[in-house]
Structure 1
Amino acid sequence: MLIEWGRKLSRADGDEWPAAAWSFLCFFALLAAYYVLRPLRDEMGIQLGPDALKELFSAVFVSMVVLVPIFGWLTKRFERRQLLPWLYTFFAANLVGFNGVLLVEGHQSPWVARTFFVWVSVFNLFAISVFWSFMADLFSTKQAQRLYGFIAAGGTAGALCGPVLTASLVKPLGPNGLALVSAGLLMLCVGAIWRLRHWHATHPRLDIEDSAQQAENDEAAFQGSLFSGVIDVVRSPYLLGICGFLFAYALLSSLLYFQQAELVPKQFQNSADRTQLLAGVDLLVNVVTLLIQLGAFAPLIRLLGTRALLVAMPMASVLGFTALALWPTIGVLVVLGVVRRAGEYAISKPARETLFNVLPPVQKYRAKNVIDTLVHRTGDTSSIWLLSGLRSLGVQSQALLWLAVPICVAWLLIAWLLGGKAAAMQDQRHLHP
């Protein structure tokens, strides 16, 4: 009965159901493992204080610059379905190691907090980003159109489960126990990948054309992507506009991170209480995101168009940062954080992804790869350093919050212009296909 219901829900045909079910479980376990760790990471960032954020974000950026070429080399040398079990097992072993370190040193140790913060950020970058590439190796385009919604729902369920586990278990188990919980979830993910590898061995892809196109897309994304993609971005006002959109979002997100590091310790002195708060915020963000994804995004983009969805979060941010500047309290901070993060996941990011659809295929993959990695992480790091510099000059938190309002207005203007330009380029493509 349950299997039959799952088949209908996943829209799986024939022998696809085992692959759909194992993919659902794999993505569930992966995102649950990450969201168990995320509140711990943010709590350790709060312990270190606002002044340490620039060092943490810089360390994440440097780690990315060093590891991305190594990871690219590994993906070229080994097939993703061969690489993933060992990658996730390696991360799980790291978490077992963190369990021992946390038992000995405690999570209050500055060097442990710094290492854990950077490690979780790197884990997020590599472990989650490669999952969908693995799915692309398993399924054809037609299969993906039917199955990806069901598989994505597994990730959403995991993103909801992870914060619940953290909030429930942080006091009885402590941070070291939660590291083992996350490691166990990663090993569940590894088990699902082995089952998917077995399924793929008996159900090879027959869509030669789709496989060739995927290979071409991967080649465009990796081969010469850095230099060629940077040139593409610099020469295109449209792509520079997308970079400006991302930088404004990163700058405002960094400012909220500073506010969180200042306000949360004033309200909650106990580390476990702070971790429970952050897990609760993650849970609320994921619930709101899911509701918007299921019930609002598709009708909104059909009714209002891409431009309206691009400007939605900048408009909300104008109101939110004004409110936070007037009433710098934990309640206003939480509401603004939930609205911005849920809006980014469910509205801004899907709408922003459509901006690349109007580009030529090769440029789309090269430029998108550069923007999603180099530009995005550079925006995070540079914005942290900029805000740290202003704080070191004596600019107070409330003044920074008021400074955020015109940045929100500039962000809104960029979003409006990008939406208009994308529509014009789409019309041009229809006139001259």
Structure 2
Amino acid sequence: MTQTGWLHKLSRAQARELPAALWSFVFFFALLAAYYVLRPLRDEMGIQLGPDALHELFSAVFLTMLAIVPVFGWLTRRFERRHLLPWLYAFFIINLLGFYEVLMLSGTQSPWVARAFFVWVSVFNLFAVSIFWSFMADLFTTEQARRLVGFIAAGGTTGALTGPSLAWLLARPIGAKGLVLVSAGLLTLCIVSSLALRRWASSNPRADACQQEPASPAFSGNLWSGLLDVVRSPYLLGICLFLFCYSLLSTFLYFQQTELVPQHISNSGERTQLLASVDLLVNVVTLLVQVLAFGKLIERLGTRALLITMPVISVMGYNALAMSPVLSVLVTLGVLRRAGEYAISKPARETLFNALPVEQQYRAKNVIDTLVHRTGDTSSAWIFNGLRSLGMSTSQISWLAVPISLVWLVTAWKLGGAAERQAPPNAPK
């Protein structure tokens, strides 16, 4: 089989679609690699600032998102995404070059630079990935997306493995300033990819471009109607509680990381390397579980079993951390929780929306994934800060996390049972 034949088989792309599939793969690879180069640096700056400042940073991320959403909405209404995209990524690159110049002058020790960088990277990740998938939806029909999305997502997975590898290799040789430039270079590849895809789209207009019908009224609900759906439904409120418990426990662990890591590693470059190696391990474990195990697990064990997996791990993990609040235990629990969330808990949680009427699925999911999730992150940061102000130690907060994990476990059990009772007869139980 020729090289082109292998590419067609691997990507499931037809002849005219292959250039778009390959550029989309490169685009998503470069985007996630750019983020994961920056993520360990962001977390290192969070460690430098300490847990006392993190609750304010989480609030700043939330407020910045609220401010940017209407601006982004206005831009997408005024300009086509395919024309807007290169300019947005160019804006991100200019931001990174600005951070590079500031880091040259002040280094990574400036608290204000660290604060700005932490917020910028957190917001950049949320919007850059969202913009990418919106662009993909503009390029491809539903039928094309079903064939190509796996191959394109594999580009992101490859980038998510490459980014922390680069950060681990380069953190000490070139430092924070160098990593910022590496990320900017990867985002430049995003612009090249978007321009290539724009040219392809001009030569290959969507087959349904002239046949698209206005959105059904069922999908036209706004944020307010989705919020009303959530408030009126015990099932959706249960999903909100599930997500809040996850956010609360994740925030506890993140804040504990900012306390324990500097106690064991004093050098900033070494801390960045550690954080990069953790990101790499999380992504490797996630990929292995997704490829080798998730489909079989949900088919054999059902949604309920997968939903309770992470709460059970949290109960055991926080018990271990409470009894032995050391870095090795924290890193092990962090890897298991993050990999388990990406590979098991989140995919299983997504299936909970299948039990809803079609008109509620999109409205409620939009509210829960944005407003509820980010509100949970922000409020969790303030809760942790309040506990620390009361003088609670890492061990005591870990003991407090155990009953929260049990509440999460009971919620997951009930949600899984409710979803399985409402599932179609041929759906996974």
Map of 1:238-253 to 2, 5 A cutoff?
A: 238-253=235-250
How many angstroms apart in 2 are the aligned matches of 1:376 and 1:235? 18
- Describe the shift of the 1:2–1:427 C-alpha distance in structure 2 as closer, same or farther (beyond 3 A): closer
Q: Could you tell me how far 1:44 is from its partner in structure 2? A: 0.1
Name the counterpart of 1:380.
Answer: 377
Q: Could you tell me how far 1:331 is from its partner in structure 2? A: 0.7
Name the counterpart of 2:215.
Answer: 216
Q: Give a deviation string over 1:281-312, Cα, whole Å, max 9, x none.
A: 00000000010111111111111111111111
Are the equivalent residues in 1 in contact too, given 2:61–2:123 (CA < 8 A)? yes
Name the counterpart of 1:273.
Answer: 270
Are the equivalent residues in 2 in contact too, given 1:225–1:367 (CA < 8 A)? no
Q: Determine whether 1:187 maps to 2:184.
A: no
How many angstroms apart in 1 are the aligned matches of 2:159 and 2:69? 26
Name the counterpart of 1:312.
Answer: 309
Q: Could you tell me how far 1:86 is from its partner in structure 2? A: 1.1
- Describe the shift of the 1:264–1:211 C-alpha distance in structure 2 as closer, same or farther (beyond 3 A): farther
How many angstroms apart in 2 are the aligned matches of 1:3 and 1:24? 16
- Describe the shift of the 1:397–1:210 C-alpha distance in structure 2 as closer, same or farther (beyond 3 A): farther
Q: Could you tell me how far 1:150 is from its partner in structure 2? A: 0.6
Q: Could you tell me how far 1:75 is from its partner in structure 2? A: 2.0
Q: Could you tell me how far 1:58 is from its partner in structure 2? A: 0.6
Range moving further from structure 2, 385-394 or 96-105:
385-394
How many angstroms apart in 1 are the aligned matches of 2:365 and 2:246? 17
Name the counterpart of 2:51.
Answer: 50
Q: Give a deviation string over 1:34-80, Cα, whole Å, max 9, x none.
A: 00000000000000011111111010011011111211222222222
When normalised by structure 1's length, the TM-score is 0.95
Are the equivalent residues in 2 in contact too, given 1:43–1:275 (CA < 8 A)? yes
Paired letter, 2:148: L
Name the counterpart of 1:425.
Answer: 422
Name the counterpart of 1:415.
Answer: 412
Are the equivalent residues in 2 in contact too, given 1:141–1:210 (CA < 8 A)? no
Q: Determine whether 1:26 maps to 2:22.
A: no
Name the counterpart of 1:105.
Answer: 106
Map of 1:234-383 to 2, 5 A cutoff?
A: 234-383=231-380
Name the counterpart of 1:398.
Answer: 395
User: SS of the counterpart of 1:216?
Assistant: coil
Paired letter, 1:152: A
Paired letter, 1:341: R
How many angstroms apart in 1 are the aligned matches of 2:381 and 2:276? 23
How many angstroms apart in 1 are the aligned matches of 2:161 and 2:211? 33
How many angstroms apart in 1 are the aligned matches of 2:73 and 2:295? 34
How many angstroms apart in 2 are the aligned matches of 1:171 and 1:59? 29
- Describe the shift of the 1:99–1:220 C-alpha distance in structure 2 as closer, same or farther (beyond 3 A): farther
- The number of equivalent residue pairs is 426
Paired letter, 2:147: R
Paired letter, 1:80: R
How many angstroms apart in 2 are the aligned matches of 1:342 and 1:211? 39
How many angstroms apart in 1 are the aligned matches of 2:3 and 2:194? 22
Q: Give a deviation string over 1:81-101, Cα, whole Å, max 9, x none.
A: 222111111101100111000
Range moving further from structure 2, 44-53 or 126-135:
126-135
Name the counterpart of 1:145.
Answer: 146
Are the equivalent residues in 2 in contact too, given 1:42–1:117 (CA < 8 A)? yes
Are the equivalent residues in 2 in contact too, given 1:99–1:180 (CA < 8 A)? yes
How many angstroms apart in 1 are the aligned matches of 2:362 and 2:426? 18
Paired letter, 2:215: E
Q: Could you tell me how far 1:202 is from its partner in structure 2? A: 1.1
Are the equivalent residues in 2 in contact too, given 1:225–1:370 (CA < 8 A)? no
When normalised by structure 2's length, the TM-score is 0.96
Range moving further from structure 2, 110-119 or 355-364:
355-364
- Describe the shift of the 1:77–1:224 C-alpha distance in structure 2 as closer, same or farther (beyond 3 A): farther
Q: Could you tell me how far 1:224 is from its partner in structure 2? A: 5.1
Paired letter, 2:298: I
Are the equivalent residues in 2 in contact too, given 1:32–1:159 (CA < 8 A)? yes
Q: Could you tell me how far 1:336 is from its partner in structure 2? A: 0.5
Q: Give a deviation string over 1:341-391, Cα, whole Å, max 9, x none.
A: 001111111111111122223321111111111110000000110111111
How many angstroms apart in 1 are the aligned matches of 2:146 and 2:15? 16
User: SS of the counterpart of 1:111?
Assistant: helix
Are the equivalent residues in 2 in contact too, given 1:289–1:343 (CA < 8 A)? yes
How many angstroms apart in 2 are the aligned matches of 1:374 and 1:220? 20
How many angstroms apart in 2 are the aligned matches of 1:3 and 1:395? 61
How many angstroms apart in 1 are the aligned matches of 2:386 and 2:370? 24
Name the counterpart of 1:232.
Answer: 229
Q: Could you tell me how far 1:220 is from its partner in structure 2? A: 6.7
How many angstroms apart in 2 are the aligned matches of 1:429 and 1:299? 15
Are the equivalent residues in 1 in contact too, given 2:8–2:15 (CA < 8 A)? no
How many angstroms apart in 2 are the aligned matches of 1:393 and 1:220? 48
How many angstroms apart in 2 are the aligned matches of 1:271 and 1:395? 27
Give me the identity figure in percent.
66
How many angstroms apart in 1 are the aligned matches of 2:260 and 2:5? 50
Range moving further from structure 2, 62-71 or 19-28:
62-71
